[in-house]
A and B are shown apart, each in its own frame.
Chain A
Amino acid sequence: MDRKEIISGGFWLCAAIAVIFVSLRLGLGPYNNPGPGFLAFWSGLLLTGLSGALLWSGLRRKTKAADLVDLWQGRKWSIPLMAASALILYSLVLVKLGYLTATFCLMVALFSVGKIKLPLAVPGALLAALFTFALFDWFLKMPLPRGIFGF
């Protein structure tokens, strides 16, 4: 058994079945005038077959294949997780806090995740926020959110 293939194959099998149901609701239409769900249906059906085959191969595998734990073994998986969390939090507060404040906080968080000491991370984050604001908002005229502080 290969747990890695079973999990991913199983996930995509469920997703494919859901796509088939959604496409049937959209309507396949007749062959001479295919409907909005036509291609999604056939893509979903093909995905069902392929993910089913992957699942089957995972179940049939007799040798001791790589376990799910091996995927993250010896790697600091918590770092990308923290970075992703910081990005999500940033997206939530970006418009409210404004670009400069939110970006400063994000960069401090990301630099800290990379084990950069705070005395270096804070000025680095400030510099990154100011430089990108100047480049995108002032120079390239891309309107960045100002937020409650007005910057």
Chain B
Amino acid sequence: MDIIFNNITGLINGFSVVLQPTQLVFIFVGCFLGTLVGVLPGIGPVGAISILMPITFQMSPTGAIVMLAGVYYGVMYGGSTASILVNVPGEAASVVTCLDGYQMARQGRAGPALGIAAIGSFLAGTTGLIGLQLIAAPLANVALEFGPPEYFAIILVGFTFIIYLTRGSLLKAGMMACIGLILSQIGLDPITSEQRMTFGILNLFEGIGVAPLAMGLFGVAEVFTNLETLHKGEHIKVKIRTLIPSRWDWMRARWAMLRGSLVGFFLGILPGGGPVISTFIAYGLEKRIARNPERLGKGAIEGVAAPEAANNAAASTSFIPLMTLGIPPNVVLAVLFGAFLIHGVTPGPLMLKENPDMFWGIICSMYVGNVMLLVLNLPLIPMWVQVLKIPGRILYPLILLFCVIGAYGINNSVFDVYVMIFFGAAGYLFRKFGYEGAPLILAFVLGPLFEVNLRRSLLMSGGSFAIFFTRPIALGAIIIAAALLLLSVYQMHRKRYANKTRLF
């Protein structure tokens, strides 16, 4: 009963915060910009949040976070539009939607595809929010009992998960995680305040900023890669007669939406999971349980409904580990974690007690944002179609300009611009050599927490690593991490034997 009462009180509190006109404007701007970024192939949520982060410095912390959160789930909505209409995914979580969405558009059924994507996104996003609202507060209370060993072990699970779920080489993902950890060490030591790897450069005393790093790795590198080809995309002449799916479409899509929501719900919570992975799993599940699996990939509405529901549910529930444990489960939330810190708020178990307005405000802003996205985006689809026609040669220079302003605006320092350009070039080369940026940025953000909790645990135990094996939660997390690592190695070996021409 207490949970329900606390939830209702929290929701009333949260809605009283977000229903103020300024907050509604921030939510709207976030959702609008998110959808725009989602529609435009290339930048994605990480780049968008990184670029917009400096703009939020003048805002209230709650306003800033609800806007950036709006960008995140707005991208999930918008990503499907480009996938369905031009077969170019607006962002990684919409790759799967291309398979059936574009086929539906070719068959003259772009309207129902866009409609089911929007409705599925809304329903799944709301389902995820209900979960977030019910789980977050009790979990935050449990997390108050956690000590450094538990935190260390949970972060370790996050690292192994991201390596386990990596799409490319396991070795390279591990290497990127190590590089991220090393980069996070630059600056003053968190315990002794000694300088580490600063090489006497004053700007490095506080370490490398997460925003220029993320903007470089994801924003600038993406633009550099796209500039190589100046990809125009395949523009089809879309005639959208109706956005409302037929009864037959509903019958086929409803269970797919439910399954997609459930997949997204659970994968969103897991460290290392998130919207991208959930879409692939949701689509795979549809293919596995379909009576005629050959229909999928040829314009089946389930192939649109399931992944779109999954990525939105995952986007909502991925806030659970961030707001209750202070652990960002995926790369987007890692950047958002940086935004929280910049605004003087530390996400974690104490957030509910110290910043209840913000805690509940974020949850309620997502309810409002989901409604806004559904109401606004369906009528705006013709406008997004026009946006898709902006040529890359105009768009990419503008994105670079916004990245430069964003990096400069963090500290009004050109040094951050240099850092961004450096990591932009590095990110471009990483892509060329088959390295993924996600493990690096996640390790970079989690690095300081990982280090502090490891060192504190060893201080507590007098130097004995047994402390991680004698506390049940830490032990459980370490067993999961070890199992994931073994599973990754097993899969790598299986792949190696299956395809002897390519070792890793």
Contact = CB atoms under 8 A, between A and B. Distances in A.
Asked if A and B are interacting partners, one says yes
Interface of A: 4, 7-8, 12, 16, 19, 22, 26, 30-40, 43-44, 46-47, 50-51, 53-54, 57, 60-61, 63, 65, 71-72, 75-77, 79-80, 83-84, 87-88, 90-91, 94-95, 103, 106-107, 110-111, 113-116, 124, 128, 132, 136, 140-144
B417 A94 contact: yes
Given A32-B462, A37-B196, A80-B228, 10 more contacts: A31-B463, A36-B189, A40-B196, A75-B229, A77-B228, A80-B224, A83-B223, A84-B425, A91-B414, A142-B412
A44 B400 CA distance: 33
Interface of B: 54-55, 57-58, 171-172, 174-175, 178-179, 181-182, 185, 189, 191-192, 194, 196-197, 220, 223-225, 227-230, 392-394, 396-398, 400-402, 404-405, 408-409, 412, 414, 417-418, 421, 424-425, 428, 432-435, 447, 450-451, 454-455, 458-459, 461-465, 501-504
Contact of A91 (B172, B405, B417, B434): B417
Contact of B503 (A47, A60, A91, A142): A60
B398 A57 contact: no
5 shortest interchain CB distances as A-B pairs: A114-B393, A32-B463, A31-B463, A110-B397, A80-B224
B414 to A, nearest CB: 5
Question: Which DSSP category, helix, strand, loop or mixed, fits chain A's interface?
Answer: helix
Contacts of A51: 175
Contact of B405 (A4, A33, A136): A136
A110 to B, nearest CB: 4
B424 A84 contact: yes
Given A38-B455, A142-B58, A103 B228 contact: no
Contact of B455 (A34, A65, A106, A144): A34
Contact of B182 (A33, A47, A95): A47
Nearest to B450: A39
B54 A114 contact: no
B425 A114 contact: no
Contact of A36 (B196, B392, B425): B196
Nearest to B448: A39
Nearest to B175: A50
Nearest to B230: A114
A40 B401 contact: no
B196 A103 contact: no
B196 A34 contact: no
A108 B396 CA distance: 13
Contacts of B220: 87
Contacts of B451: 38-39
Contacts of B424: 84, 87
Contacts of A95: 414
Contacts of B196: 26, 36-37, 40
Contact of A57 (B57, B174, B393, B503): B503
A111 B409 CA distance: 23
Contacts of B421: 84, 87-88, 91
A138 to B, nearest CB: 12
Contact of B55 (A8, A34, A140): A140
A60 B230 CA distance: 36
A33 B191 CA distance: 10
Contacts of A4: 433-434
Given A36-B189, A106-B401, A107-B401, A91 B433 contact: no
A111 B397 contact: yes
A63 to B, nearest CB: 5
A34 B458 contact: yes
B396 to A, nearest CB: 7
A134 to B, nearest CB: 12
B414 A94 contact: yes
B178 A50 contact: yes
A4 B430 CA distance: 11
A134 B203 CA distance: 28
Nearest to B189: A36
Contacts of A33: 458-459, 463
Contacts of A128: 397-398, 401
Contacts of B396: 110, 114
Contacts of B400: 83, 87, 110
29 contacts: A4-B434, A26-B194, A32-B461, A33-B458, A36-B194, A36-B196, A39-B451, A40-B196, A43-B181, A43-B182, A51-B175, A63-B502, A71-B432, A83-B397, A87-B220, A91-B404, A91-B417, A91-B421, A106-B404, A107-B397, A107-B401, A110-B396, A111-B393, A114-B230, A128-B401, A132-B401, A132-B405, A143-B412, A144-B405
A32 B179 contact: no
Nearest to B181: A43
A140 B58 contact: yes
Contact of B175 (A54, A72, A110): A54
A72 B428 CA distance: 12
Contacts of B425: 84
B257 to A, nearest CB: 39
B251 to A, nearest CB: 46
A46 B174 contact: yes
Given A30-B463, A46-B178, A50-B174, A40 B197 contact: yes
Given A91-B417, A140-B55, A50 B398 contact: no
Contacts of A43: 178, 181-182, 185
A106 to B, nearest CB: 7
